[in-house]
Amino acid sequence: MIAFDISHPCLTFDKWRQVLIADPKYRVTEVRRNVLLSER
């Protein structure tokens, strides 16, 4: 897995429909729907 950081949340939230939540060992533990992204 490649881990990276973003400079500003808007760079992610306006492009991704789902957000992956990972634990400290970079294992995906849950997937959350991006409620800030309007349906297009």
- Which tens digits make up the pLDDT trace of 16-39? 788 889 999 989 999 998 877 655
Give the pLDDT of residue 15. 75
Give the pLDDT of residue 17. 82
Q: Is the dihedral of CA 4, 17, 36, 22 positive or negative?
A: negative
Give the pLDDT of residue 39. 58
Give the pLDDT of residue 23. 92
Contacts with 27 (C-beta within 8 Å, 6 or more apart), sequence order: none
Average pLDDT on 4-8 reads 67
Residue 40 CA, distance from chain mean position: 18
User: Token pair of 11, please?
Assistant: 């760079």
- Note the pTM of the prediction, 2 decimals: 0.54
Give the pLDDT of residue 27. 92
Contacts with 12 (C-beta within 8 Å, 6 or more apart), sequence order: 6, 19
